[in-house]
Structure 1
């Protein structure tokens, strides 16, 4: 490990905002030749679903058109490398796609994804699937190489720098798991967060009302709005979901 890489990793450990972390990581990966990234993480994986897309953590510096088709349009569900990431841990060269195409192993939906990727010059790269300690959680990142790079060139680069690239991505993944994440339309207000925190601490409605200097009716309103914001049915589910996304017990700037 070079001193510059070591310094960069230390800096990453001190970052306290997702946006800053992601910007730094995209810049670092671009130095290796990977100029377009997609990171995805879910804590709500089941044998038949990746969970509600509204609960996914998705970060990307791809073009808006690509994100609209691949993420918002749902093409990711059929993407061969996403399927690989769900079933495996570690890293994988996109060379396997060429092998699957030549052997006729891709179904029609997967072929549509490959065709879509080619129109956006997404044709060479690597996918890293992160190790998880929960069967409900899965995280992965797609590293797309510059449009002028071939898979042969990417594989050669990986031979020289693959371990450093994996190390950096593992660090960023672990760091992301510790940072507050505000999902679309699922950001709690300070009052909603505080009320959930006291529930998480085992306090009763009467206790919380006294602590916060509010009426029980107002506390119940904050908790109801928190449930609606997080799209869950019970307060216990709201506490769990807010905790999963690090929206509780956070230090205010």
Structure 2
């Protein structure tokens, strides 16, 4: 299937008004299309090139590893996300991005990206806002692992993921693709995979969700939000209704 940068436009439109000229400028950016298998990193510290990587299809994780190989997952990327924006402004990045089960990525030359930011202030403002929201999500994840009980942690992740997927037009019939495995979710939430499975089962038995493999139908979004202590304000978008 043909690919373009429309998912990137959708993502940026969540945070700022993107007019027709801005949209056309984004869609006109040159890019190289890459299919990244799950065994290969997309971006990582020490990478020579600082081109911008934009996820067009699939899911990826931002993670850091200790010297002993222990992993901390700090973000779940969905279609439309820029994966290494900090590389546009810093000499290097301090994290790696890995696909979950393969991903399709657009590699936009750094020179074209910098020129776009310079010539299109609304686009630069949207990118800057997306970085601030990314930081806000990270703070919510820290609050999850430090303060919330297990059921609220899992429910909060589901609400947040549903909100982000809805804003990108990736929800169908109130059903979302979770994207990650329970083992990966355990790294996100600081719970064991067994505890994650037990908690998901409890949320399902409460009638809040239905599970179909990695797909989740949100059956009662209001009750799920209440269980999660969730409000979407940190996402800076009202673009979600399940």
- Please say whether Structure 1 and Structure 2 have the same fold, judged by a TM-score greater than 0.5: no
Tell me which protein shows more strand as a share of its residues.
Answer: 2
TM-score (norm 2): 0.28
Q: Which has the larger radius of gyration?
A: 1
Normalised by the length of structure 1, the TM-score is: 0.28
